[in-house]
Chain A
């Protein structure tokens, strides 16, 4: 009797796993546009399957990953969001001076801490591709609000404004290391950076709002600039 009950539990668990694996293989990038075939979508509607998988963190986004989570098991597809990203913030203080922050901080140790912030900045960049202005501004606004509060705590001054930009660090192709041009050979030269999304930060009555700066955003299509 006990073995029958356990077998039933095993069967249900394996069924849920099958649903998780089968329905997370779509190569579509945008979750909202992920076009799962009907059978897979129907399988996910079996009561309690999806919540069960989500609670146990087993609804892993294989395929092209998920723009909200960093479980990109493909490691790279050579796309823009497979590169390293930074979020840079310049804040203007009440006395006219500026306070700058970069996420992730380059000297952050252990590396897992840096990786975590790297995931946050990559998610910020990927959300910028959703085409939904409300969605794409959520992480930048959260980051900006945190850094405004931090700057005010560190300097004792009010922040009057500033800007925030998410930058993609594009990759060299295999020919770049042999180039005679120093700027091409140096992976940290300016030509390897692209602004993915940029906002002006407006601080009014302590509230942080963002105004998108279309002129700075340059969603570069791919990896190597050459």
Chain B
């Protein structure tokens, strides 16, 4: 009996180790990572560029968010404080002094200089110039704006910073980048070819992609669960099917007026339930090759429709970009090349599932 249990645990440890190594370290084509970098870089550039008309208004002298008691009160005492035992540990003390926007709160010129420098960094990151360096620098730029004014952030920032962090870990400049164009100059091998030196499979690309996948699916699950976890028993709008109506009924937020659906309660109910089901289902089913194309296609419908209803266009777009972590690089590569039958065949080849077995 004892030996059987010992044997089980021995097998368990060995197989878990093999599965772990296969999941995290099987070399992967970084092609899709380059596409994610390009699109994420453009979104980050857009998000930070929209601060431009307000950069002094928010962070400058007499700005909306530079009052002494706000800096020392709201941000320091509340936004980043955390009860630990009997004490209140203040994390903002570590963050705010290192925030370069905070350093220039008394200097509009300084604010403009660092803001434009930040935009330049994001532009270089999107273009894939010195990708290894600019990926880290771009993340710092985005985190600076988030930490300077957390009360201005919305749903897009956590997803954006998450993807940007993982892009720092992999060779995100291996495709769709100036880096790759410069490297292949003189080479007769097309950049989109699997023989290109920049298409070299790497474990770093796998780690970056896998972390993105794991984090993203956890976020999907949490989005679904947070909808069901209403703060009061009488406020369960995601349970009673009315949540989509309450989104539609926000006149200042929505992109398209769907209030004509008021006379179609079944549609509103079905739409509400579909959103929750999709979010919970995506977290699980996207790991299976059979369901992956379906879930990715549904995600376009889901985030597209949510963008129209909520007006959260940037967030919905960012979720779609993050979903690219689940698109096989081979598929993306073949989709962007002239469609040859053998390419389509290669694209259809099964990618190994999360547990390392072809499903």
Task: Please give the distance in Å from A69's CB to the nearest CB on chain B.
Answer: 5
Which of these, B79, B94, B314, contacts A51 with CB under 8 Å?
B94
Chain B nearest Cβ from A2, distance in angstroms: 10
On chain A, the residues within 8 Å of B21 by CB distance are 3
What residues of A have a CB within 8 angstroms of the CB of B104 in the complex?
A: none
* Residues of A close to B265: CB separation below 8 A: 174
Distance of A50 Cα from B94 Cα, bound (Å): 12
In the complex, A83 Cα to B83 Cα: how many Å? 30
Interface contact B53-A113, CB-CB below 8 Å: yes
> Chain B, interface size: which category?
35 or more
Cross-chain contact A70 with B54 (CB below 8 angstroms): no
Chain B facing A: main interface SS:
helix
User: B25–A3 contact, CB under 8 A?
Assistant: yes
* Chain B 126-156 interface 0/1 with A at a Cβ cutoff of 8 Å (1 = within): 0000000000000000010011001111110
Whether B263 lies near A178 (C-beta < 8 A) is yes
Asked if residues B70 and A44 are in contact (CB atoms below 8 Å), the reply is: no
Answer whether A25 and B229 are a contact pair too, CB < 8 Å, given A44-B82, A73-B222: yes
Chain A nearest CB from B40 CB (Å) reads 14
Number of A-B contacts (CB under 8 A): 218
B200 within 8 A of A: no
Please tell me if the beta carbons of A75 and B311 are within 8 angstroms of each other in the complex.
no
Beta-carbon contacts under 8 Å, A163-198 to B: 169, 171-178, 187-188
> Would you call A5 an interface residue if the criterion is a C-beta within 8 Å of the partner chain's C-beta atoms?
no
- Residues of chain B within 8 A (CB-CB) of A74 are 223, 226-227, 229, 238
B20 at the interface (CB under 8 A from A): yes
Q: Within residues 6 to 23 of chain A, which ones have a CB less than 8 A from any CB in chain B? A: 6-7, 10, 13-14, 17, 21
A135 to B68, CA, bound (A): 14
B-facing mask of A187-217, CB < 8 A → 1, else 0?
A: 1100000000000000000000000000000
The residue in chain A whose Cβ has the minimal distance to the Cβ of B237 is A78
Q: Is A76 touching B247 in the complex (CB atoms < 8 A)? A: yes
Interface status of B44 (Cβ within 8 A of chain A): no
Q: Are B237 and A55 in contact (CB under 8 A)?
A: no
Q: Which residue of A lies closest to B50 (CB)?
A: A112
Q: In the bound complex, do residue A150 and residue B222 qualify as a contact, i.e. CB atoms below 8 Å apart?
A: no
Q: Does A94 contact B (CB under 8 A)?
A: no
Also in contact, A10 and B24, with CB within 8 A (given A84-B251, A120-B151): yes
Map CB proximity to B onto A58-73 as digits: 1 under 8 Å, 0 otherwise.
Answer: 1010111100111111
Instruction: Report the minimal beta-carbon distance from A186 to chain B, rounded to whole angstroms.
Output: 10
* Contact code string A95-116 (vs B, CB < 8 Å = 1, else 0): 0000000000010001111111
Distance from A45 Cβ to chain B, minimum over Cβ atoms (Å): 5
B143 touches A55 (CB 8 A): yes
Which of B50, B214, B312 gathers the greatest number of chain A CB atoms within 10 Å? Answer: B50
CA distance A102 to B80 in the complex (A): 29
Distance of B184 from chain A, by nearest CB (Å): 28
* Contact indicator B157/A57 (Cβ below 8 Å): yes
Question: 1/0 contact trace for B1-29 toward A, CB 8 Å?
Answer: 00000000000000000001100110000
Does chain B have a CB within 8 A of A220? no
Judge if A31 is at the interface, Cβ distance under 8 Å. Answer: yes
> A10, A74, A83, A187 — which one has the most chain B CB atoms within 10 A of its CB?
A74
A124 nearest in chain B by CB position: B151
Partner of B62, one of A84, A119, A146: A146
The interface stretch among B113-121, B158-166, B188-196, B347-355 is B158-166
CA distance A193 to B66 in the complex (A): 29
Which B residue sits closest to A149, measured CB to CB? B62
Q: Given contacts A146-B63, A177-B262, are A118 and B253 in contact (CB under 8 A)?
A: yes
Asked, given contacts A68-B74, A84-B251, A149-B62, whether A73 binds B263 with beta carbons under 8 Å apart, the answer is no
Jot down 29 A-B pairs with beta carbons below 8 A, ordered by A: A6-B24, A10-B24, A13-B211, A45-B85, A50-B91, A55-B95, A58-B162, A63-B226, A68-B150, A69-B151, A70-B151, A70-B152, A71-B158, A73-B226, A74-B229, A75-B227, A83-B250, A84-B250, A112-B46, A116-B152, A119-B151, A134-B73, A135-B78, A138-B74, A139-B74, A141-B70, A142-B64, A146-B67, A174-B262
Identify 17 new A-B residue pairs, CB closer than 8 A, beyond the known A3-B21, A142-B65. Answer: A24-B222, A44-B82, A51-B91, A55-B94, A55-B143, A57-B162, A58-B162, A60-B158, A60-B222, A64-B230, A70-B154, A75-B306, A75-B310, A120-B152, A139-B74, A146-B64, A174-B265
Residues of chain A at the chain B interface (Cβ within 8 Å)? 3, 6-7, 10, 13-14, 17, 21, 24-25, 27-29, 31, 41, 44-45, 50-51, 54-58, 60, 62-65, 68-79, 82-84, 106, 110-120, 123, 134-135, 138-139, 141-143, 145-146, 149-150, 169, 171-178, 187-188, 223
